[in-house]
Structure formats: structure tokens, C-alpha cells
Amino acid sequence: MAAMLAELRRPPPPPRMPAVSLPLRVKTSPSLRRLVPSRVVLKLARRRGAAKWKQSVEDREKALAGMETIIAGTPRAGELEELARAHLIEEVVDHALFWQPWRTLSIDAQSKARLLEAIGQDRGLLLSLCHTGLYLRATATGVVPLGSVPYSVVGRSFYEKPTPDYPGRHLALFRKRIRTWLVLSDGSFPMLKALLEQGEIVELYFDRPGGRETRFLGKTATLADGTARLAIETDALVLPMRARRVGHGGRLDVGAPLDPRDFAGIDELHTKLAALHEAWILESPESMRDPRSFGWGKWATADSWIRPKSAGRPA
């Protein structure tokens, strides 16, 4: 275990920012963006998002389709156009603020107490998140500043050489900013199980495709059940979390811990997590990333999120 931990804690050095055209380099330069107040960036991004909704048929239709995929079948389905517009604006804001300096997420007294108490227990801890709000910053600027470094699961594409374009610059900067230890997703279950049995902290996303049929966001979804399985098999606590934007900053919300000892098995714990995350998502569905962009592809629709096993591993 000591050798395994040492290997995981020797990540490759972050890549250099790839060379791009001058206009794109200025737009994606962290040093230059540091000179612009984030509140100004936020204001301008909101204007650009509103203009895209009004002027671009393609962007408007994409936002409508993405939001329908999220809220169809839920109590907020009737708000489609309003939420789709907010979703498009939020997407523009998210991209704009990504290049600004990342500030530590604020955390209220109850959330901080829950997190510190869970970290302080002599057992493994699973942090359960979804692709909502400032999810990229949740652990780096929310958990790590409190003194604990989780393990995050990443795909092989995370280590690919950044391409000389906007996505490549985005990946390079994210790799520079990440503060967690990394575990490759391929065959990661035994590794994560061993880490949790040693009392480590592991971060997992609940809304990824998998094999467990689940009622989620008003529709049937085949979700990954790794969080519940690992918790039951290792006796690790589960801590639901979300990182949401508040103005040009953000806040980390931590739900009440779920103890696997209080559940009859994997299915019951998984169902409970689905309900908790769904409630959070429906508070501000516009802040959720379009599921078709993080592994679901065409399999996420307004009727269901069912990704067949024959489709292979999600990207």
C-alpha cells in the first residue's frame, strides 16, 4: 500500500500551455486575466450569453435540447425556455470565469462541520458530486484548503498532450490547477477499494453512465453505482457535495453524511444518493452540464438516459 500511494502521489508534471494564435492566447492567458476584475468578467459574460440566446439559432436550439434532457419528467419541465436561456448564459459565464484566478470556495458553518467531522473519522470517505456548478473546483478550492487531499478518478484522455486550441489550453490549465491525487479510471475499482480500506478520501461523480437502472430526474437512467458499492464493501462514509457559483465566487455545500451501516444494501444507498442529488440539481438545473457532453452522448434524451454496454466505456 505504501508503494502504491507513493506512485499515485508522483503525478506527471503539468503540461505547458500549448501555443495558439495571439487573440486566443490573450483570451486564455491566466496572467493577463488576473488583471481583469472577475466581477467585470462576469458582467460581460452574462451579456454575451444573453446575446447568443437572442441571435444564434444554433446555440438556442442546443440549449433547449440540453435542458430538456435534464428537466423532462420533473416538476420543472414547464420552465424549459426560461431555464434553457439561463443554461446558455451560465455556460458562457462558466467558460469566462474558468480563466480567472480560482478563489477558495466559501463554506457555511454546518457544511464545514460535516466535512471536518467526516474527515476526522477513522474510516474511508467518499465524496459524491454531480456535474453541476463549479464542480471542477469542488475539491481543489473547497476540500483541499481544509487540509485533506482526496483521490480523483480520471480517464486516459486527461493525460493526452493538450492540443493547440481552446480545449487544449483549457485542459492544460486545469491540470496545473488540480490539487487531488489521481487514479486512472480503467480497472480502478480495486484500487479505490484499497484506498478506502486504508482510510483515504475518494471523489466520485454520481451522474456518470453505468449499469444500474435508476429513477433519476424524472426518467430511467443507467447510472454508475460505484459510490454505493464501494461504501458498502469498505464501510466508508458517503458525503454528498456540490459547488455552486455565487456571483463571481462560489460556495461549497456539504450534505449530511450517509453511513452504509444504515442501509440494507447497495440499491438502497444508491437510491438515496439519487434522490439527494436530484433535489440539488432541480434547485438550479441551469447550472448542470449537458449530460450529452460528459459520457452519455446521444444516449441521454428527454425520455431516458440509457447507455447500452455495447456502446463501450464513456469518454
CA pair distance 128, 139, nearest whole angstrom: 11
Q: Which residues contact 258 (CB under 8 A, 6 or more apart)?
A: 231, 237, 238, 239, 240, 269, 272, 273
- Output the pLDDT for position 311: 73
CA pair distance 59, 88, nearest whole angstrom: 8
Count of Cβ atoms closer than 10 Å to residue 109 Cβ: 7
- Number of structural domains found in the chain: 1
CA pair distance 148, 83, nearest whole angstrom: 36
Domain-located, residue 32: no
Residue spans of alpha helices (H) in 9-145: 22-27, 30-33, 38-55, 57-71, 80-98, 109-120
- Output the pLDDT for position 314: 59
The range of the structural domain enclosing residue 182 comes to 104-311
Is residue 278 within 8 A of residue 82, CB to CB? The reply is: no
- Output the pLDDT for position 124: 97
Domain-located, residue 11: no
Tens digit of pLDDT at every position of the chain (315 positions): 778 777 888 877 889 999 999 999 999 999 999 999 999 999 999 999 999 999 999 999 999 999 999 999 999 999 999 999 999 999 999 999 999 999 999 999 999 999 999 999 999 999 999 999 999 999 999 999 998 999 999 998 999 999 999 999 999 999 999 999 999 998 899 999 999 999 999 999 999 999 999 999 999 999 999 999 999 999 999 999 999 999 999 999 999 999 999 999 999 999 999 999 999 999 999 999 999 998 899 999 999 999 987 776 655
Domain-located, residue 33: no
CA pair distance 234, 245, nearest whole angstrom: 33
- Output the pLDDT for position 98: 97
CA torsion sign for 15, 20, 25, 28 is negative
- Output the pLDDT for position 9: 81
Q: Over the stretch 247-286, which tens digit does the pLDDT of each residue have?
A: 999 999 999 999 999 999 999 999 999 999 999 999 999 9
Domain-located, residue 61: no
Residue spans of alpha helices (H) in the chain: 2-8, 22-27, 30-33, 38-55, 57-71, 80-98, 109-120, 166-177, 189-197, 226-234, 266-283
User: What is each CA distance from 84 to 50, 98, 136, 146, 271, in whole angstroms?
Assistant: 11, 21, 22, 35, 27
- Output the pLDDT for position 13: 85
Give me the phi and psi of 29, to 5 degrees please: -90, 110
Closest CA to 294 of 205, 184, 185, 182: 205
CA pair distance 34, 45, nearest whole angstrom: 16
Domain-located, residue 69: no
- Output the pLDDT for position 8: 82
Domain-located, residue 46: no
DSSP state of 27: H
Q: Which residues contact 116 (CB under 8 A, 6 or more apart)?
A: 146
- Output the pLDDT for position 290: 97
Domain-located, residue 151: yes
Q: Which residues contact 277 (CB under 8 A, 6 or more apart)?
A: 128, 130, 206, 207, 216, 240
Whole-prediction pTM: 0.94
Q: Which value, in Å, is the radius of gyration of the alpha carbons in the chain? A: 19
Domain-located, residue 55: no
